[in-house]
Amino acid sequence: MLEQQVVHRYSVIGRSVPKIDGGEKVLGLARYLDDLELPNMLYGKILRSRYPHARIVRIDTGEAWRVGGVAAVITARDVSFNKMGILKDQPPLKDGKVRSVRDEVAAVAAVSEEAAERAVEAIRVEYEELDAVFDPEEAAKPGAPLVHEELGTNIIDLNFHFSTDSDMEGVFEGAYAVVEDEYRLQYMNASPLGTMGCIAYYNELGELTVYTNTQAPFLYRHELSQVLGLDPSKVRVVQPEIGGAFGRGMDIYPLDPITAALSIKTRRPVRILYTREEELQYAPPRQPAIIRMKTAATRDGKLLARDADVILDAGAYVSWGPFDGRVMMATTTGLYVVPHVRFRATVVYTNNPYCGTQRGAGNPQITFAIEQQMDSLAEELGLDPVEFRLLNANTPNMVTPQGMRISSCGMRECLQAVADAIGWRGRRMAGPGRGIGFAAYFHVGGGARVYRSDGCGSTISVDDYGVVTLVTGSTDLGTGSDTALAQIVAEELGIPLSKVRVVNSGETVRPWDVGTHASRATFVAGNSALMAAREIKRKLLEIASEILLVHPSKIVIRDGVVFSSEDPSKRIEFDKLVRRAHFRQGGEVLTASVFYDPPTEMQDERWMGNLSATYAFGAQAVMVEVDPETGVVKVLKVVSAHDCGRVINPAAAEGQVHGGVAMGLGYTLSEELVLERGRVINASLAEYLLPTSADTPPIKAIFVETEDRYGPYGAKGIGETGCIPIPAAVANAVYDAVGKRPKTLPIKPSQILGAG
């Protein structure tokens, strides 16, 4: 259910409209990676290590070549690759040593998937098994097996440390109330509908075209070119329709250069597309975490200090997962007003799978700890948990200890809204076996300054029939961001939404964009589109001024008509005005190109800085029922309130909230990649328990519109926020129901029945 106070100040903004690509998807016309078949295409398969840690003694590919239909068999010795990954610590094909059971040892291309599978199975690899380490705490100890011997340690030098004080212990000693505990969070697969894959075609002209469901096509092109040693101008990245990504597509992975290498060898298109089982085994999971946290408050209920010590298991290589530590740091210092803060994250190599970032990028993990401690502190102080949160809530125009500058902030309104909507009357008042829990969130709402440029380009052109085409660098992952951009352009130009087209396919004609992540598409790409629309509007008004003999400041464009605000009889239809601009002496093509880079900064060596142009806030309330005999937790209702600034498309925003809540509930109650000596042992949807529609409770979405001064029409991001507070809110509701606090995810009946 959607609850929103709607005041129609705008013609298009703030109105629920269908996705502009909805018709194609409903009719089955949209083309996803799985739908693409190129002429003369081959199919690839990858052979992976049998052991989590071993030396490669010998690889024999002779039998693989004898399988009918095989066109290429490659190992590290057949291809010249540069190392890949954030720290350049991973070769796409491994030579000399494997460090996880995910490690790629060889690959084949054949005329069918069946032939490729038979060829992979025919490759013989002789290994010398080595001692392995799977526990990050054990891996950090002296004498542990070294994943990368040349480094001399498994501890990765990422230095995610921040502190406001040199004597935090003294601050805690002087506190009136202190709570302290440990929390453990699991591996989670993103599980989008579209599995990971790549189609590569290297032609006789030395040009490589790659079809991929990446989230960051321009960075992908750069990284892939580097790994392959190709001129980036010879590499073209095409994005088909994307069936979700949730952060998985922020990096390139070995399958990308391996697919390209097979095409380079054969000069034919090659496709590698994961099955669902391969996706569960080999796609980068959410970063697991061990969090030890301590929080203190004064006697009058004000937060005094927060101390977090986090251990992150990077796995065998460093992808984006360990960088969740930066988001955990920002939330530790930024969620609620807390003057004294210390954060330390230790990132460790193990022989487990390496991790990617995932929706919320570390925020669900750290919020799970923070918000349970908020509940514990409130109880310690004898305060209502909602009142305690309201007392310490973030406010507009404040600056966090890390130097993050808050613009708009509706956190208090969100907390009050969810408390009212859930029917909060106090602790232990929900009924027998039932409980209500709360959690708030703080997250970037306008991208995150991860790169030197966090911007997005836009180009707008108008044709003779008044159709406006926006070419955007932004990527729509199925979220409906293209529709929001179209609404922004239509609103600014005063034309119907049906007159706006969005080009967003990954072709090289698109202007540059850093990628879709950090809830940035509506804010960053939206500001870019708005700037371009304003430039087009300026040109149109100047031309209309000449025709209507009215000053540009007195001309209005509304509902596709251009007219004088003082004398509406002086008017011309939008499309006619465009033709008048084109078909005249000295005419011009109406185009505008802009680049919007948000006014943010790279954090310095002390991790100080304003990494987002704006920040999103919100709160959730959850009602649960706990079976006293089985310990099974059933979520009865979720109320989710969000300050995402001005809501561009209420229906789409509600969809984002519902999807985020469902994802968060899966993370909280059922989803867990179970590892045995570094290998995923529940790699099927029969064992990896995604939530279904039957598991999803009624969800009430509430939007608190603060109209952020930096956002396009006041909008902020909402793509990630629905999943962030859910684990903590459910855990707090369980405590309210049965008096036992879950400290590990997923919450299992054994925790409820066995907790002290």
User: Concatenated DSSP letters for 713-725?
Assistant: GGB---TTGGGSS
Instruction: Indicate whether 8 pLDDT > 60.
Output: no
Strand partners, 74: 107
pLDDT of residue 508: 64
Asked if omega into 749 is within 30° of 0 (cis), the reply is no
The C-alpha atoms of residue 345 and residue 343 are separated, in whole angstroms, by 7
Torsion of CA 729, 685, 517, 610, to 10 degrees: 30
Say how many CA atoms lie within 13 Å of 256 toward its Cβ. 30
Residue 736 neighbours by CB under 8 Å, 6+ apart: 427, 428, 430, 435, 436, 437
Q: 131-145, 184-198, 234-248, 429-443: lowest mean pLDDT where?
A: 234-248
How does residue 3 score in pLDDT terms, banded at 50, 70 and 90?
A: very low
Q: Write down the pLDDT at residue 1.
A: 36
pLDDT band at 453 (very low <50, low <70, confident <90, very high): confident
CA separation (Å) from 282 to 273, 275, 629, 678?
A: 12, 10, 37, 11
| Distance, CA of 721 to CA of 364 (rounded, Å) | 9
Distance CA 243, CA 74 (A): 30
Taking the C-alpha atoms of residue 531 and residue 521, their distance in angstroms, rounded to an integer, is 15
Q: Residue 177 corresponds to which tokens in the numbers above? A: 């109330």
722: CB partners within 8 A, 6+ apart: 640, 642, 656, 657, 658, 659, 660, 661, 663, 664
Give, in order, the Cα–Cα distances in Å from 750 to each of 32, 186, 689, 747, 753: 41, 16, 17, 8, 5
Q: 602 pairs with which residues across the strands?
A: none
State mean pLDDT over 294-321.
97
Equal fold, 2-30+455-596 vs 33-130+190-282: no
User: Quick one: average pLDDT of 224-228?
Assistant: 97
Which amino acid, residue 27? L
Supply the pLDDT for residue 582. 87
Tell me phi and psi for residue 312, to 5 degrees: -115, 125
**Three-class secondary structure assignment of 602-629:** CCCCCCCCCCCCCEEEEEEEEEEEECCC
Task: Give the pLDDT band of residue 753 (cuts 50, 70, 90).
Answer: confident
Instruction: Annotate 73-110 with three-state secondary structure.
Output: EEECCCCCCCCECCCCCECCCCCCEECCCCCEEEEEEE
Q: For the segment 334-386, what is each residue's pLDDT rounded down to a tens digit?
A: 999 999 999 999 999 999 999 999 999 999 999 999 999 999 999 999 999 99
Write the DSSP assignment of 63-76 as a string of letters: HHHTSTTEEEEEET
Task: Of 298-312, 354-368, 451-465, give the lowest mean pLDDT range.
Answer: 451-465
Q: pTM for the whole thing? A: 0.94
Residue 396 CA from chain centroid, whole number: 25
Q: What 8-state DSSP symbol labels residue 284?
A: P
Show Cβ contacts of residue 233 under 8 Å, excluding neighbours closer than 6 positions.
Answer: none
682: number of Cβ within 10 Å: 17
**Residue type (1 letter), 439:** A
**Helical packing angle, 574-582 and 526-548, nearest 10°:** 80
**Cβ–Cβ < 8 Å for 74, 38:** no
Q: Distances from the Cα of 587 to the Cαs of 85, 460, 580, 584, 605, in angstroms?
A: 50, 17, 8, 5, 53
Angle at 366 between CA 363 and CA 367, to 5 degrees: 75
Q: What are phi and psi of 448, to 5 degrees?
A: -145, 135
Contact yes or no for 372/732 (Cβ under 8 A): yes
User: What is the fold, at CATH topology level, of the domain defined by 289-449+603-754?
Assistant: Aldehyde Oxidoreductase; domain 4 (3.30.365)
Query: What's the whole-number average pLDDT of the chain?
Result: 94
Asked if residues 354 and 102 have their Cβ atoms less than 8 Å apart, the reply is yes
Residue 179 pairs in a beta bridge with: 295
Percent of the chain residues topping a pLDDT of 70: 98
- 356 and 319 Cβ atoms separated by less than 8 Å: yes
Nearest to 106, CA basis, from 115, 119, 90, 89: 119
Non-local (6+) Cβ contacts of 166 within 8 A are: none
Burial (CB count within 10 angstroms: exposed 0-12, middle 13-18, buried 19+), residue 392: buried
Q: How far apart are CA 400 and CA 407, in angstroms?
A: 12
**What tokens were used for 242?**
């994307």
Q: Which residues pair with 457 in a beta bridge?
A: 595
Rounded distance, CA 597 to CA 69, Å? 50
Q: Give the neighbor-by-neighbor strand order of the sheet with 340-349.
A: 155-163, 340-349, 303-315, 289-297, 177-185
What percent of the chain is predicted at pLDDT more than 90? Answer: 87
Going 669 to 675 to 680 to 681, the CA torsion angle's sign is: negative
- Specify whether the CB–CB gap between 29 and 240 falls below 8 A: no
User: Roughly what angle, to the nearest 10 degrees, separates helices 385-392 and 363-381?
Assistant: 110
Q: Would you place residue 4 in the very low, low, confident or very high pLDDT band (cuts 50, 70, 90)?
A: very low
Chain-centre distance for alpha carbon 580: 45
Q: What is the pLDDT of residues 169-211, one digit of tens each?
A: 999 999 999 999 999 999 999 999 999 999 999 999 999 999 9
Torsion of CA 578, 584, 586, 590, to 10 degrees: 10
A 10 A CB-CB count for 585 gives 4
pLDDT for the residue 479: 87
Question: Facing residues of 563 across strands?
Answer: 556, 571
Structure tokens given for 290: 């061990």
Q: Where are the domains of the chain?
A: 2-30+455-596, 33-130+190-282, 289-449+603-754
Q: Residues for the chain: how many in total? A: 756
What local confidence, expressed as pLDDT, does residue 547 receive? Answer: 93
Contact 73, 11 (CB under 8 A): no
Give residue-wise pLDDT tens across range 586-611.
778 899 999 999 888 888 889 999 98
Instruction: Please name the CATH architecture into which domain 33-130+190-282 falls.
Output: Alpha-Beta Complex (3.90)
- For residue 5, pLDDT over 60 is answered with no
Q: What span, in angstroms and rounded, lies between the C-alpha atoms of 91 and 602?
A: 29
Which residue in 532, 551, 537 sits closest to 581, CA to CA? 537
Angle made by CA atoms 324, 327, 331, in degrees to the nearest 5: 140
pLDDT of 156 above 50: yes
Specify the CATH number of the domain 2-30+455-596: 3.30.365.10
Task: Give the sign of the dihedral formed by CA 165, CA 170, CA 174, CA 178.
Answer: positive
Residue 507 tokens, joined: 């072709």
What type of residue sits at position 357?
T
10 Å Cβ neighbour count for 542?
Answer: 12
| Structure tokens that stand for 159 in this block | 């230095």
